[in-house]
Structure 1
Amino acid sequence: MAARREVEIVALHVSPVHAYEGRPSDGPRPDPEPVSRDEVVVRAGLGIVGDRYFNHPAHRNAAVTFITAESLAPWPVDPLVARRNVVVREFDVDSLARGTVFRLDSGDGPVRFEVHRPASPCAWMDTVIAPGAFKALRGKGGIRCVPLDDGVLRSGTAELTMVST
């Protein structure tokens, strides 16, 4: 039987553009619309509807990114600044191995995700979070996943089930 527990989806991020391009000293590109969402629509094998990596061939196996809120806790920043799609609390995503499948259900039915690789931080973290954040987030920058089901994720309490490791 799979282990189930409660976690919190702290923030959901969807952006049609990549804001952290170029030189950090020039500052991030402004988003054409607010990135914070109360809910997101997930499509199996494609990602999050409206996100810059949705159905992008180079990111098909890494279209949805997760980070744990605890990784950002040392800094008083908006959790969306890390530009990960799903920010969760009480779920150590960085400890998950490639190929691990987990399921999140925030009230609209379960959505499974398969871990494919780490979501490594970039030098922009020193600019948008704080000096030293880039180095401090190594190994804690989150994960990149492929969604295995269509569904909806909502901010708030969710049930997490580890399907396979």
Structure 2
Amino acid sequence: MIEIVALHVSPVHAFEGRPSDGPRPDPGPVSRDRVDVRAGLGIVGDRYFNHPAHRNAAVTFISAESLDPWPVDPLLARRNVVVRGFDVDSLPRGAVFSLDSGDGPVRFEVHRPANPCAWMDQVIAPGAFRALRGKGGIRCVPLDDGVLRTGKSTVVIVGA
């Protein structure tokens, strides 16, 4: 049993350009208690939903433990799904896992790491960019339609 700590949907990408210029105006990622996931498309309402350049990386995950050194809102990491008790960074490319938060399992295929960027030093804390290398999460494609909710969840590694 793991926990989905937070679910985030961000309609726009605020961190473009140089961190020294500051983020552009952003309605910000919105924290949700539940999100709708669509196979091959992503999370409904998110900036990467059905975006051709991100179809294989539309949903991002990060382990809450990666953020524990800083007492920050997990929203600042700008990952869609924040989980506790599941080391997402240990999953290899091509791995398939499912999450079931009460509405049935939703499978995801790992495509690549969600590497941190220099913005992490600005929005989390100085040194976060370097500290999150190798622990910045993963980018996945959803394989099923479904719903994810915050709270206790079951994770199953389906294949690797």
TM-score normalised by the chain length of structure 2 = 0.97
1:23 pairs with one of 18, 25, 28: 18
Alignment correspondent of 1:133: 128
1:47 corresponds to which letter in structure 2? G
2:46 corresponds to which letter in structure 1? D
Q: CA RMSD in A?
A: 1.0
Alignment correspondent of 2:54: 59
| CA distance in 1 between partners of 2:72 and 2:46 (Å) | 22
1:78-117 equivalences in 2 (<5 Å): 78-117=73-112
| CA distance in 2 between partners of 1:160 and 1:54 (Å) | 23
When structure 1 is superposed on structure 2, of 101-110 and 32-41 the one drifting more is 32-41
Alignment correspondent of 1:76: 71
2:143 is equivalent to residue 148 of structure 1: yes
1:41 pairs with one of 36, 41, 44: 36
Q: Deviations over 1:56-111 (max 9, x none)?
A: 00000000000000000000100110000000000000000001000000011110
Alignment correspondent of 1:32: 27
2:15 corresponds to which letter in structure 1? Y
| CA distance in 2 between partners of 1:42 and 1:53 (Å) | 12
- Paired residues in the alignment total 160
Identity of aligned residues (%): 84
Aligned-pair distance for 1:21? 1.3
Aligned-pair distance for 1:19? 1.3
- Whether contact under 8 Å (2:29, 2:78) holds in the other structure is no
| CA distance in 1 between partners of 2:54 and 2:94 (Å) | 16
Q: Provide structure 1 residue ranges, at least 5 long, that are not aligned to the other structure.
A: 1-5
Q: Deviations over 1:90-141 (max 9, x none)?
A: 0000000001000000011110000000000000000001111000000000
TM-score normalised by the chain length of structure 1 = 0.94
2:118 pairs with one of 115, 123, 139: 123
| CA distance in 2 between partners of 1:120 and 1:22 (Å) | 16
Q: Provide structure 2 residue ranges, at least 5 long, that are not aligned to the other structure.
A: none
- Whether contact under 8 Å (2:2, 2:155) holds in the other structure is yes
- Whether contact under 8 Å (2:14, 2:28) holds in the other structure is no
When structure 1 is superposed on structure 2, of 96-105 and 28-37 the one drifting more is 28-37
Q: Structure 1's 131 and 142: CA in aligned 2 closer, same or farther, altered over 3 A?
A: same
